[in-house]
Amino acid sequence: MQGITSISSVLSAPRVSDTRDAMRTADAKSFSQILAQNTGENVSTPETARDAAEQLVTVALVQPLFERMRASNNAAPPFGPGKGEQAFGGLLDAAMARKLTTKGSWSLVDQVAARLTAKMSSGVVS
């Protein structure tokens, strides 16, 4: 009888595709809820301009430099990048670039933030 019970429990278990579909639906719902949130924040503050400037410099300048440095590593197998570093190197590059840009004092970030703030105060954002 135990064999029959275990088979019936396996047959009544949810299918993997059903579970994946439920997860996708839940993710889509939570994403749409986040997008629909009204935080009540004023989006035209100098802080948001500074944050946008930091993100721009991070993604457009610093992160590609890190990616190129990582790609140029041609060390022999014991010292070269392993599968883990190859798989997750981009995440590390992004985190390091963001931390470097936000913790330091970058004149480029200051200039971009100043231009964004000037455009936001004049009402022209392109």
Unique residue bearing structure tokens 């721009």: 56
Same domain, 4 and 62: no
**Average pLDDT rounded to a whole number, residues 9-33:** 59
Residues 58 and 119 in one domain: yes
The single-letter code of the amino acid at 93 is D
Residues 32 and 50 in one domain: no
Whether the predicted pLDDT of 101 surpasses 70: yes
Domain that holds residue 9: 1-37
How would residue 53 be classed by pLDDT, with cut points 50, 70 and 90?
very high
- Looking at the structure, tell me whether residues 53 and 86 fall in a common domain: yes
Residues 110 and 63 in one domain: yes
Query: How many domains are there within the chain?
Result: 2
Rounded CA-CA distance 51/98 in Å is 11
- What pLDDT does 39 receive? 60
- Tell me the pTM: 0.60
Helix (H, G, I), strand (E, B) or coil at 45: coil
Helices (H) and strands (E) in the chain, counts: 6, 0
